[in-house]
Amino acid sequence: MSLSESESFRAKIQDRNQFVTTCDGGDLGVPESPSIWLFGIEPGWSLSDEVAEAKGLGVSEGILKDYSVELQLAWPFNRNAFKLLAAIEEIPISEYRKFAKEKRPFERDSKGYFKGNLYPAALNKLTTWHEDATYLTGFNNKEDYQNWVKERRFPIVESWIDVSRPKLFIGTGLGHLEDFMKVTKTKDFKTHSFSVKGQSKRLIWSTDGIVPIVVLPHLSGGKNGLNSHESIRIAAEFIRNNFPSLKRGKDSVPC
């Protein structure tokens, strides 16, 4: 007997061997050659994506599987992710497209970067829950869904972090700070605050978990988020200067 949509979804999410297929893509890395992991809260699914799919113009499953840089450049979140990664590498943010096309972050079979989400179901708003979500997951509300994911998926995420040992885990979304801390087994952390044009920003960072971690505001904007090149530059500079794991053969101590 074939499984229902929700049964297939749940089976995949709680299967450790299917972990990579539940993420966007890239390079998990290994301790000898670690990558940078970037995790969001859940995959974006914009209203324009919804309209395009309804018209039969949505992105095909094969294209999504390859997760090409050209595809990613159409999405604001990924463009800002490229800007951040470029700035961490001391590349001018204005050259983020060149950086992306050379490094191919998160693309299938690429090296150096890996991207995923805490909660794998794609929704167009963090507060959204509708019939399609219930059909996909089998849950009638988001709280029950997220509690199930914490119980079944989070230990799998943690185990892959432990095996792969990324040189830096970047979480995006301060509202889910506790979740990011949980999957990296981080207990103690510090806060770094700064201001750009009168708008306050903050990031959370630590080196006491399984791997070094920094949690940033969501990359899609908001007045307290990384909503400008200057705010991205400042955040990247702080990251670069405070994580020994990013230093190439140089001794460094977090300040």
Q: What average pLDDT score do residues 183-206 get?
A: 95
Q: What's the pLDDT band for 254 if we cut at 50, 70, 90?
A: very low
Q: What is the pLDDT, as a whole number, of residue 243?
A: 94
Q: Which pLDDT does position 2 carry in this prediction?
A: 55
CB atoms within 10 A of CB 151: 10
Asked if 170 and 38 touch (Cβ cutoff 8 Å), the reply is: yes
**Residue 221, Cβ neighbours under 10 Å: how many?**
14
Give the model's pLDDT for residue 54. 43
Confidence of residue 255 (pLDDT cuts 50, 70, 90): very low
Is 166:33 a contact under the CB 8 Å cutoff?
A: no
CB atoms within 10 A of CB 195: 11
CA distance 240 to 205: 12
User: What CATH number is given for 5-246 in this structure?
Assistant: 3.40.470
Higher pLDDT, 255 or 153: 153
pLDDT digits (tens, 9 = 90+) for 80-135: 999 999 999 999 999 999 999 999 999 999 999 999 999 998 776 666 788 888 88
- What span, in angstroms and rounded, lies between the C-alpha atoms of 225 and 174? 10
Residue 218 has a pLDDT of 87
Q: Quote the pTM value.
A: 0.89
- Residue 247: the pLDDT is 74
Four-point Cα dihedral 41, 46, 52, 53, nearest 10: 40
**pLDDT higher for 250 or 210?**
210
Q: What is the pLDDT of residues 121-180, one digit of tens each?
A: 877 666 678 888 888 899 999 999 999 999 999 999 999 999 999 999 999 999 999 999
| Tens digits of residue pLDDT in 16-69 | 999 999 999 999 999 999 999 999 999 865 433 443 444 443 444 544 568 999
Q: What is the pLDDT of residue 45?
A: 53
